[in-house]
Structure 1
């Protein structure tokens, strides 16, 4: 009787050990599957955000739209004026909109007197807003947001001598328009993949510049000199930033 009880006890121990091993193997398999799923999800997210940024930039540089964008109410024309140099024109790329850009859905952000950028010069319609029920996304799926900023900077800071100058032409004597350098940032993000609050994400998009340069003599308040990318990175928001530089020059043609 004692021998039978001992055998029964030994069998129970063996069964428990086998169950423990099965549990460990199953847990490891589930963990591996979750890691693989996260890698695949991250890869798909990066691909979607890159495609959204590329789509926005390709539309911005489309030659068919360039004449319209260079008008005084266009994407480049409005911000290239002398009193707007250094400011950033901001708008949210909405794939469902018929027009890529309208000044009515744009904002201006710039560094002014004080310790942080002023983002209210012409209103807040240009900033992507994850808090809103309106569609600020690049498509009807409501997954990716892409915010565009356009800034004209001093082309004299270019490392290449005479960058953008028409070859063989003196700008002053020929009355040729001087070359101008425009920088376009396209920041794409996926708010739904972040644990950050929509208010914090909106604060990054609306109160930070893509290319913040603190004027000489000013002291930035804590975090105010962060770029949008740095702000989003601090919140662990998935994003990509696409930066394009353009040199706008006057083309001279001869007629016979």
Structure 2
């Protein structure tokens, strides 16, 4: 009788251990699936947040009222500032933050210089004022470049206008780049370097802001829009 009891106890122990192993495996798989689902959801939310912040700049620019459009086109506005003679053909950058989203501040604008980068006008994760909101999650950097040289004859002129009676038309290219520093596994110094030391666009083989962010696995969303300035009488 005693031997049978020991045998039964041993069988019961084995069954319990097998059940524990099965439960552990099932639990591990459930946790792993949950982590994967969480990562997918987090990535989707991050991309949505980046897209919203990038779109916000274009919405603000295109939905401007009459007074704001006049300001934007003046030397104190982003388009007018980039259209100044000394700035035409250059990349003008500034950080679209919660502090200056209502007004363009020429004191915060930087001019990209090849080999030197930006001395100002770039976003910095260590600066709380570089974020688009108080949540300090997303930074948005804007680059504006104005060209007065058409790539084709009469490309930027409106049909029916007299080229001798209107100002030369200009092409305005705006590059908006949003990123989430907290989701990057790199230091703030590397993020700043990507935004400060590289152009928004360049010839093939040259490191740009987006290619630098890609290399360092920094989540971002970049959009480019091109506008044509309407011709006005001389």
Using the size of structure 1 for normalisation, the TM-score is 0.83
Match of 1:187, SS? Answer: strand
> Once superposed, what is the RMSD of the aligned Cα atoms?
2.0
Aligned-partner Cα distance in 2 for 1:91–1:119: 13
Aligned-partner Cα distance in 1 for 2:35–2:103: 39
| 1:177-224 Cα distance to aligned partner (Å, 9 max, x none) | 12211110110000011111111001001111111248xxxxxxxx8x
Partner of 1:27: 28
* 2:55 is the alignment partner of 1:54: yes
* 2:144 is the alignment partner of 1:143: no
* 2:106 is the alignment partner of 1:103: yes
CA gap of 1:98–1:148, structure 2 versus 1, over 3 A, is closer
Partner of 1:163: 155
Aligned-partner Cα distance in 1 for 2:222–2:101: 24
Aligned residues: 230
Q: How far is the alpha carbon of 1:154 from its aligned partner?
A: 5.2
Aligned-partner Cα distance in 1 for 2:203–2:72: 26
Contact 1:94 1:100 in 2 (8 A): no
Partner of 1:87: 90
Residue in structure 2 matching 1:131, options 99, 115, 126 = 126
Give the alignment of 1:243-254 within 5 angstroms.
243-251=224-232
Match of 1:156, SS? Answer: coil
Unaligned stretches of 5+ residues in structure 1: 215-222
Give the alignment of 1:66-81 within 5 angstroms.
66-81=69-84
